Each structure stands twice: as C-alpha cells, then as structure tokens.
Amino acid sequence: MRRFATLLDTLLLTRSRLGKIAAIVRTLREMPDPDRGWALAALTGGVDFPAIKGGTIRALLAGRVDPVLWALSRDFVGDTAETACLLWPEPPGDPGPQPSLTEVVERLTHATRADAPTILADLLDRLDESGRYALLKFATGALRIGVSARLAKVAFAEAFGVEVELVEEYWHGQAPPYTALFAWAADGAVAPSSDLVPLFRPFMLSSPLEYGTLDLSEFVAEWKWDGIRVQLVHVAGQTRLYSRGGDDISAAFPEMIGALNVPAVLDGELMVRGEAQGFSTGVGAASFNALQQRLGRKTVSAKMLAEAPAFLRVYDLLLADGADLRPLPWHERRVLLDAFVGRLDRIYFDVSPLIDVADWDALAELRASARDAAIEGIMFKHRQSPYVAGRRVGLWYKWKRDPLLIDCVLMYAQAGSGKRSGLYSDFTFGCWTGDPDHGGELVPVGKAYFGFTDAELKDLDRHVRHHTVAKYGPVRETDKSLVFEVAFDSVHASKRHKSGVAMRFPRINRIRHDKPAHEADLLASLVALIAD
C-alpha cells in the first residue's frame, strides 16, 4: 500500500503529462503482482467497492473526532478523504504491519454495509497519513489525480515496450488485476485470447485535410456522418455496442443488440432514423440532437424506442465469420462489407455510400450543399489501406464542413454570475501541441460560456465539481477528460495568448461524451485555419 500511496502523491504533485507517465511506468515495473494490477485498475476506474461510500467515512469519523472540529476542518479543507486522513487518531497500541494493496482490495470487495466501518477502521489504523489518504480515495473511487484511462494504458505500453494499440486490443477482455495482460507484456507469455468474448477493437482514425492536397485517383470519398462512431460486436452468441472510447453503451440501444446475430465486428456511425436526405441511399438520418436524447441512459422506454429508433450506417467490416479482415486493403473489405450488410435487416443497417465525384471543385460544391444534412464533412480513404489502429499518415483523412469546428478538451472552469451564480459556466478548453501519446501537451486555445442548454449546464457543473484536480482562487482545473466540439467564426494569430491563436466568437457546439480526450484536435489543426 505504501508504494501505491507514493504513486498517488507523485501524480497529484506532477503537472506534466510525461511526468505522470514516468511515475506510472516506474510503479508498474517495480511493484509486484498482483498489487500492480490493482494499482492499474484504480487508475483506470476498473474496481468498485459498493459498501464504501462517503457517508461511511463520515460516520466512522463521528465516533472518533469531535463533531465541531470535524465540521470546521471539512469546511476548511474541502475534501472528505483529506480531512479524515489528517484527523484520524493514532491507534493506542501496535496495529500490525501495513496492508498490501491486494489485502485492501480483498477485504473491501467482500465488505458489507454492516462490517465496512470495522474493516475500514482496521486498515486506517495500520496506515500512515499518506496511506490513509490513498486508501480513502481508492475505496470511494474518487482519485481525481489528472490521469485518464488512456494515459494509464500509454504508461503500461511504455513500461513493457509494447504497442499501445495492442494494449487496447487485449485490455477489454481482461479483469483486474490483469494477470494475463502483465504476463504477456512483462514476461513474454502468449497474448490473451479474444476469440470467445465480444471485445472492443481500437478504431482506425483519420487526419485533418486541406483542400486539394490528395491525389483523388488513389482515394475514395464518402460522407462523414453526424452521429457517434461505434463498434457493434457479435461473438459466441453475445453482442455488445461500444463507443469510440471503448465504453459499453449496449443498454442505451437495445434494438441494435438484437439486430446483429452473426459473428462480426462492424465499424459505423450510430444515428437515429429521420427524414431521408438527398445524400443518402439508405435509411434517412435525423440530426445529432435526436440521438443525444438517448446517450448515457441505462434503460430506454418503449416510447423513446418508438420516437427515436437507432440504426447503424456501416463504414467498415473488421471481422466476419471468424476471419480477421483488418489486414486486407480497403477495396477488398468494401466488397465484403457490401455483401455482409446485404444479409442484415435494412431497418437497422445500411452502408455509408461513396461519393462519385472526381475533382476537388465538384467535391467542394457538394460538401457545401450538404450543410443541412446529417453530415459533418467528407472522408477520404486510400484504396489500399488496411484497417490499422490509431491515426496513420497517408491512409484516412477527414475534411470537415463549415462552420469552423474543432474538438477541444475542457481544462479550467469558473463560476458565472447573475442567474448562473454558483454554477460553473465559464469554460476554458485546449488543444494538443502534438500526439498526446508521444509528449503532446494541452494548451488553452479559447474560452466559452454559452452554446449549451440549462440541463447541459447542470451536467457540466456536476462534471467540474467531480473532476477537479486543482484550485486557483475562483478557477478550478479539471482532469482533462471531457471533450467539447467548439464552433467559431474565425481564428487569428495572437501574441497575447500562449497558444499563439485567438478564436473569434467561440461557443460550445456539442459536448462530446462519446469522444476520449486523446482524440481531440491538435493545435496545428487550429493554426491551419488562420486566414491569410
């Protein structure tokens, strides 16, 4: 437990992304099994102790600390775990050796509401101040140390010299303490099997594109649809629907789970049916707002299923009937995709149509005319491209439509005034200076305080309060996990701003809960939009 507490202290005091990665790398290399697996689970949100809540800690302290002292201290410190670890009285005798992280997990996992206080008290007695803080944060699932699951996976890959795409490939089939995953990465054992469970596979990503920079004879063009990119997987009689971050969103779209009953992995855009657009040859798609009503729900009513039925506009076929098709060139996968989707129910599936235009001027005109459709822009895919995880130069590109849009990461928040007094409503967001997996850092590029509904504002306020990692007077720094799609009229070079750019009339166009922070845009993409 001492090593885990040291890691948390280091992460809390380290501002640099590379510094955080280095700290995790050292811990994963030096900590023994299975403790390091549980440490990794803690960092990635892979463990939960239902019997331990904030109220458990408060009730436990009520019997050991003067209630007035507790109330004043909690109000001053602002954090239950930090207050509790400072006020916890030293045990009268020898409490015994410090518990290992594995012992902590085993005891808290089997704890009930009745015996949880006794178990927690025994563990707190055997720990020092730093260990108590780590225990309480871990037990309540409130680490708030500025480490995303993606960053932890990048650190895991760096620690053992394996590709992060392979870590993503195998990760979703493993459970803490990830024994098979460590055996593969650290000891050279056979990679964990993924044949019998419906696992998430890492997405292939695209790079931003400027007008006229591709030889169109080598690429195909298709629409970039305005839904959420998902992966629908059916393996061994089980079906799962995953967001682009690898989250299981099956419960929110039960009709899609029942729609695929043959072995396959489909990559596509999840949308809600609506009036047919002139740019589609399949099911008509409604706007993103219709889809947004269903996101994040654990259960979906019959009324919502009827009013906002989902369907999948398929982009690619990764696996089918037991065969991995990802190494095949795009043009071969497309033939197989057309045939495969032809076997499925057209109510729930269609194939994203290609755009039959051979020159840039015609593409630009067509792209501009698609403004009112459920379309974000145009995708370009190399005809010989295999399906490879991540963003690879020269293979896939995206050409987003106007207005100017860019995906940014929420960095800081400040409370508003007037009707918004008491709510965090002024948001500062940033872009990556480079690839976040290879040293890229977030730099602020703009600030916005409108573009969201009252309901979304309440959700954003809740997010800020639950994901604060530092406070600077009235400003709260968040853990860099939430992505905004920011709309703006123009962008200009600026010597006044650290990023070197200033956005004109930025507003939050969409809250991208479906998009992981490491996939937000690069600063170079914003700079490229500066008018000459």
Q: Which sequence positions are flagged as catalytic?
A: 224
Question: In degrees to the nearest 10, what's the CA dihedral of 46, 52, 55, 57?
Answer: -110
Token pair 């015994």 in the structure block, residue: 96
Does the N-terminal peptide bond of residue 92 adopt cis geometry, omega within 30 degrees of 0?
no
Burial of 475 (0-12, 13-18, 19+ CB in 10 A): middle
Rounded Cα distance between 498 and 227, Å, is 33
How many angstroms separate the Cα of 446 from the Cα of each of 17, 429, 506, 524?
21, 6, 7, 15
Strand partners, 269: 229, 313
Query: 3-state DSSP: the chain helix, strand, coil percent, rounded to 5?
Result: 35, 25, 40
- The pair phi, psi for residue 29, each rounded to 5°, is -75, -35
Q: Is 45 helix (H, G, I), strand (E, B) or coil?
A: coil
Which pair of structure tokens corresponds to residue 114?
Answer: 């009745």
In degrees and rounded to multiples of 5, residue 248 shows phi and psi of -80, 110
Q: CA of 228: how far to CAs of 243, 405, 483, in Å?
A: 8, 16, 13
Q: Give counts: helices (H), strands (E), the chain.
A: 19, 21
Query: Measured between alpha carbons, how far is 528 from 304 in angstroms, rounded to an integer?
Result: 41
Tokens linked to 96:
């015994």
Full DSSP string of 201-241: -PPEE-EE--TT-S-GGGEEEEEEESSEEEEEEEETTEEEE
Q: What is the token pair recorded at 244?
A: 């682009």
Q: Which residue's entry shows tokens 């709309």? A: 487
Please provide residue 489's backbone torsions phi and psi, each rounded to the nearest 5 degrees.
Answer: -80, -40
